[in-house]
Amino acid sequence: MKFETRALHVGQAPDANGAVVPGIELSTTFAQRSPGHPLGAYDYSRSGNPTRERLEQCVASLEGGKHGLAFASGLAATVTLMHTLKPGDHVVCIDDVYGGTQRYFRRVAKGMGIRFSFVDFGAHAEHLESAMEPETKMIWLETPTNPTMKVVDITQTARIARGHTGVVLVVDNTFMSPFCQRPLELGADVSFNSVSKYINGHSDVIMGMLCLSDDTLHSKLRFLQNSLGAVPSPFDCYLALRGAKTLAVRMRQHETNARQVAAYLEAHPHVRQVLYPGLESHAQRDVAARQNYCAGGMLSFVLDGGLLESKRFLEHCSIMTLAESLGGVESLIEHPALMTHASVSPDVRERLGISDSLIRLSVGLEHIDDLLAELAAALDAAFSKTKCPDPVS
């Protein structure tokens, strides 16, 4: 079955009543006919729940994996993965990752004895090999990166990982979703998604998902999913499964809108740079074109001004809601230095290019004319010579 068909049918066969939309299994517990012998396949919903399993099967299939595991948030999935490691183990992580991932790695996991090297992999992972150590057990890659949109060659990264025994390559696929990029097909061991973004797609669920094909690693993670207990609610699983049904059509339109927004911004005199993998000017355009099925809906851009202009610009956006998160049907715009990456230290932010002039935009499904009109008006207002009210400090 093709992607669109799998999104609608995998894990979603009609239930015992013939319901075309299978019911949500809200029960926390399941009756047993004799101690230790449940009537069906489930005993307790933390350990296993039919609605969660439907979602896990569906997303695993979209990622081209054998197994899927759902968690209460993207970060809960990250934490669970880190529990496969032990003190002294080493992780090579791309330097530009989501601020919350960095905060967890630098300020929590490190305290538990796991060592991290944050490295600029280079487009073809050419800087990765020199960061590998005998104790390296995991490579953590986000591509495109959040928020500077660096693209890294997953196939090449996987080749380097294979050259070292016992190294698990995790690719955070949140910015692309399995419609645009399928890391497992390119050699990754685990494809990670914050389901809170494109897979659910409607900004009303917080959830994470790990997809993989290796049975041994899956058993380990399933044991940890139950033991750590960071599982999503059945209702959220139902919502995410409903969202996943339209992933393909949403992603196509996100990309169509994003391409037009990127072209518009690139030609604008008050925009210094646009970072979007679908643009000819993107530094790793060739890698993106080779490994991605579509360029997605995320872009970042650098205003030709400072913090004052960035604040004025953002305060004049209204259709594009000023808010953290991404991947919803509505456009979301934000200031990474003050919002999603505020927990990253100023020197690291500076090194990564997360400046006061950097704006991140998750291009939504509004009519393109309305998006372009709002961008034009907000840029005019931000750079107008007439005095605007001072931005909120």
Closest separation in Å from C-beta 193 to ligand P1T: 8
- What angle do the packed helices 50-62 and 234-244 form, to 10 degrees? 30
Site string for ligand P1T, 103-142 (x = CB under 6 A): ---------------------------------------x
Give SS3 for 271. Answer: strand
Site string for ligand P1T, 304-343 (x = CB under 6 A): --------------------xxx-------------x---
Residue number closest to ligand P1T, CB atom: 74
Q: Would you count residue 61 as binding ligand P1T (CB under 6 A)?
A: no
Piece of 59-67, 73-81, 221-229, 240-248 that binds ligand P1T (CB under 6 A)? 73-81
Compute the distance between CA of residue 284 and CA of residue 343 in angstroms, rounded to an integer: 27
Closest separation in Å from C-beta 324 to ligand P1T: 4
Neighbours of 233 (CB within 10 A): 17
Q: Please say whether the beta carbons of 298 and 360 come within 8 A.
A: yes
Q: Which is nearer to ligand P1T, 48 or 99 (CB)?
A: 99
Q: Please say whether the beta carbons of 209 and 62 come within 8 A.
A: no
Q: Would you count residue 98 as binding ligand P1T (CB under 6 A)?
A: yes
Q: Would you count residue 51 as binding ligand P1T (CB under 6 A)?
A: no
Q: Please say whether the beta carbons of 171 and 191 come within 8 A.
A: yes
Q: Which is nearer to ligand P1T, 12 or 340 (CB)?
A: 340
Compute the distance between CA of residue 191 and CA of residue 211 in angstroms, rounded to an integer: 5
Neighbours of 104 (CB within 10 A): 18
Q: Would you count residue 255 as binding ligand P1T (CB under 6 A)?
A: no
Neighbours of 352 (CB within 10 A): 22
Residue type at position 64? G
Compute the distance between CA of residue 303 and CA of residue 274 in angstroms, rounded to an integer: 9
Q: Which is nearer to ligand P1T, 236 or 255 (CB)?
A: 236
String of DSSP letters for 190-259: EEEEETTTTTT-SS----EEEEE--HHHHHHHHHHHHHH--PPPHHHHHHHHHHHTTHHHHHHHHHHHHH
Report the relative pairing of strands 136-142 and 90-94 from DSSP bridges: parallel
Site string for ligand P1T, 155-194 (x = CB under 6 A): -----------------x-xx------------------x
Q: Which is nearer to ligand P1T, 12 or 300 (CB)?
A: 300
Compute the distance between CA of residue 139 and CA of residue 133 in angstroms, rounded to an integer: 11
CA angle 265, 270, 305 (to 5 degrees): 125
Tokens 């390296």 identify what position?
136
Task: Give the total residue count for the chain.
Answer: 393
Catalytic residue IDs: 46, 98, 172, 197
Which 264-303 positions form the footprint of ligand P1T (CB under 6 A)? none
Among 50, 68, 100, 232, binds ligand P1T (CB under 6 A): 100
CA angle 177, 179, 183 (to 5 degrees): 65
Give SS3 for 72. Answer: coil
Q: Which is nearer to ligand P1T, 161 or 195 (CB)?
A: 195
Q: Which is nearer to ligand P1T, 30 or 96 (CB)?
A: 96
Q: Which is nearer to ligand P1T, 132 or 317 (CB)?
A: 317
Closest separation in Å from C-beta 10 to ligand P1T: 22
Q: Which is nearer to ligand P1T, 263 or 322 (CB)?
A: 322
Q: How many residues bind ligand P1T (CB under 6 A)?
A: 19
Q: Would you count residue 208 as binding ligand P1T (CB under 6 A)?
A: yes
Among 61, 73, 148, 200, binds ligand P1T (CB under 6 A): 73
CA angle 363, 367, 368 (to 5 degrees): 65
Closest separation in Å from C-beta 288 to ligand P1T: 16
Which residues contact ligand P1T by CB under 6 A?
73-75, 98, 100-101, 142, 146, 172, 174-175, 194, 196, 206, 208, 324-326, 340
